[in-house]
């Protein structure tokens, strides 16, 4: 069998195609956790009404000059003690025993492990004393402190409105990473660390101007410290050790249901080509595609409508756009056109090297593909790391067959797909459980089947995994639950374990 055949056998192609376009996660080969040191003192506008006074610092990530000669700086602010440390600690304590949502994240498809407080367009969440306490505590701070500060920092004719509010938790037994991304769903984002960088966890939120590991700079935030930025800031999260708790609020101008494509149009579609921003053209493409899909357009049509903006950003030299445009060409079957764009982006975008590796794979050049996968994996592409594990496990692309090396890569990559493949290579329940916790519906289904054949406690746990996989769209889990319900209806005095 060819390397292509082996990849097809183990990769979940539709999901990976989406991940490739969206984000890149921490690589197998480490991260030295460099701190962002670009902050300088900033005077908070009086309109913020912040009492007591807050220490504010301003910083920016400076993007490399684009091919068209333009440049871009993404601004962020650091606010010391915007939430008092006592309130932050009380929120963490209140949520210790609460169940966090494990819906799949729109960025990387992994389980979110977040706790929704408010979403303008969603149902009310399950009431509890903890949720009531946290909403009351943080709601007051949001109304009287954070919202006025955000409006003062980013004054607009249409005032910024808080539209989404949630708690994120990162820990080694759950999620430890969130890929490098732009907040496409938010115009302005406010983040508050609820515990201490360095003492309670290492790593945390980082900012970047590309997806290479060396591009990342971490924010040192103590309990109650905040950071605020707009959606042009590329950022992500990695927590190598400890547990990180954060509170996130997404703001939008005017109304929460306003057309988000208008947020960038003036900077993307200016009459003066020299003044157009490639980054805003890219974000306009992203938001236009998301908007059309939300309106019911199929994914191919939505991508086609957004493609002119993506191409304009790519032609201007924005590497992330060059990668995504090249990948769109590859998926359409134009490997030659794809390679041209992917080669332009390969230096700054590990995902471009991964996608270029797929082009070489299609051409039958396995060794060139593996070389690109190896380079991209070392620089930050989880998909490339996955393919390196495939190559090691099958002895492809000039590598010796080495299951131990494959497992080492997969376990350090630590994505749902990587851990599912690790469980297949190792036949390990521990790897299967890790894939399930990370959000793999297939792993959840397989683990549930094993647990349902055990004792009562194991059966209850298995049913929870089965229901989680079903909620995440796993067809086999949905069918199994339906069969269990039908059987239970026939024998109502017996439990699931008797079926």
The CATH code that applies to domain 40-253 is 2.60.120.620
Residue-wise pLDDT tens digits, 168-186: 999 999 999 999 999 999 9
Structure tokens at 439: 């959000």
Distance of CA 120 to the CA centre of its chain: 21
| Mean pLDDT, each 10-residue run in order, the chain (499 residues) | 44 34 39 90 78 86 87 95 96 96 90 93 83 96 94 90 96 94 95 97 96 94 97 96 97 93 82 74 94 92 94 95 97 96 96 98 97 95 96 96 97 96 97 96 96 86 93 93 86 51
Rounded Cα gap, residues 20 and 147, in angstroms: 35
Per-residue model confidence (pLDDT) at position 478: 95
Rounded Cα gap, residues 38 and 337, in angstroms: 39
User: What is the H or E stretch that residue 78 is in?
Assistant: strand 73-80
Distance of CA 152 to the CA centre of its chain: 29
Select from 174, 224, 176, 175 the least CA-distant residue to 196.
224
Domain ranges of the chain: 3-22+286-418, 40-253, 440-498
Residue count of the chain: 499
Structure tokens at 137: 């505590």
204-208 and 188-193 beta bridge pairing: unpaired
Q: Identify the bridge partners of residue 236 per DSSP, sorted by sequence position.
A: 206
Rounded Cα gap, residues 185 and 43, in angstroms: 29
Helix/strand/coil for 354: helix
Rounded Cα gap, residues 393 and 397, in angstroms: 11
Tell me, yes or no, if the pTM score tops 0.85: yes
| Segments of 150-233 assigned E as strands | 160-170, 177-181, 188-193, 204-208, 217-218, 226-230
Structure tokens at 242: 């400890």
Give the architecture (CATH level 2) of 3-22+286-418.
Alpha Horseshoe (1.25)
Q: Identify the bridge partners of residue 280 per DSSP, sorted by sequence position.
A: none
């Amino acid at each position: 069998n060819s390397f292509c055949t082996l990849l097809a056998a183990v990769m979940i192609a539709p999901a990976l195609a989406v991940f490739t376009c969206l984000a890149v996660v921490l690589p197998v080969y480490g991260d030295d956790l460099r701190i962002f040191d670009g902050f300088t003192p900033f005077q908070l506008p009086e309109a913020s009404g912040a009492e007591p006074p807050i220490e504010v610092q301003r910083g920016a990530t400076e993007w490399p000059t684009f091919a068209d000669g333009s440049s871009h700086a993404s601004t962020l602010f650091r606010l010391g003690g915007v939430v008092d440390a006592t309130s932050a600690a009380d929120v963490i304590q209140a949520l210790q025993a609460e169940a966090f949502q494990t819906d799949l994240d729109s960025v990387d498809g992994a389980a979110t492990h977040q706790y929704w407080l408010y979403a303008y367009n969603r149902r009310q969440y399950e009431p509890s004393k903890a949720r009531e306490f946290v909403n009351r505590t943080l709601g007051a701070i949001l109304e009287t402190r954070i919202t006025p500060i955000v409006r003062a920092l980013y004054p607009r004719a249409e005032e910024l409105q808080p539209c989404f509010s949630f708690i994120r938790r990162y820990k080694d037994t759950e999620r430890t990473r969130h890929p490098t991304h732009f907040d496409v769903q938010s115009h302005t984002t406010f983040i508050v660390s609820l515990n201490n960088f360095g003492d309670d966890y290492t790593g945390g939120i980082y900012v970047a101007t590309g997806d290479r590991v060396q591009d990342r700079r971490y924010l040192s935030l103590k309990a109650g410290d905040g950071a605020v930025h707009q959606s042009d800031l590329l950022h992500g999260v990695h927590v190598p050790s400890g547990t990180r708790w954060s509170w996130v609020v997404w703001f939008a101008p005017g109304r929460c249901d306003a057309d988000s494509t208008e947020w960038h149009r003036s900077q993307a579609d200016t009459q003066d080509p020299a003044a157009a921003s490639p980054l805003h053209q890219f974000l306009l493409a992203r938001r236009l595609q998301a908007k059309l899909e939300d309106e019911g357009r199929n994914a191919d049509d939505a991508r086609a409508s957004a493609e002119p903006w993506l191409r304009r950003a790519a032609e201007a030299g924005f590497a992330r756009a060059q990668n995504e445009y090249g990948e769109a060409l590859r998926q359409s079957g134009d490997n030659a056109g794809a390679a041209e764009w992917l080669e332009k982006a390969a230096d700054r975008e590990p995902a471009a090297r991964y996608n270029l590796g797929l082009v070489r794979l299609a051409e039958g050049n396995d060794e060139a593909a593996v070389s690109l996968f190896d380079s991209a994996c070392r620089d930050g592409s989880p998909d490339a790391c996955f393919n390196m594990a495939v190559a090691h496990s099958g002895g492809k692309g000039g590598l010796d067959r080495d299951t131990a090396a494959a497992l080492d890569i997969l376990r350090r990559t630590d994505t749902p797909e990587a851990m599912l493949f690790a469980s297949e290579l190792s036949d390990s329940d521990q790897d299967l459980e890790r894939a399930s916790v990370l959000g793999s519906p297939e792993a959840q289904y397989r683990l549930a089947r094993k647990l349902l054949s055990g004792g009562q406690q194991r059966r209850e746990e298995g049913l929870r995994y089965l229901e989680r996989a079903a909620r995440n769209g796993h067809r086999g889990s949905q069918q199994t639950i339906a069969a269990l319900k039908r059987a239970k209806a026939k024998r109502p005095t017996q439990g699931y374990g008797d079926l």
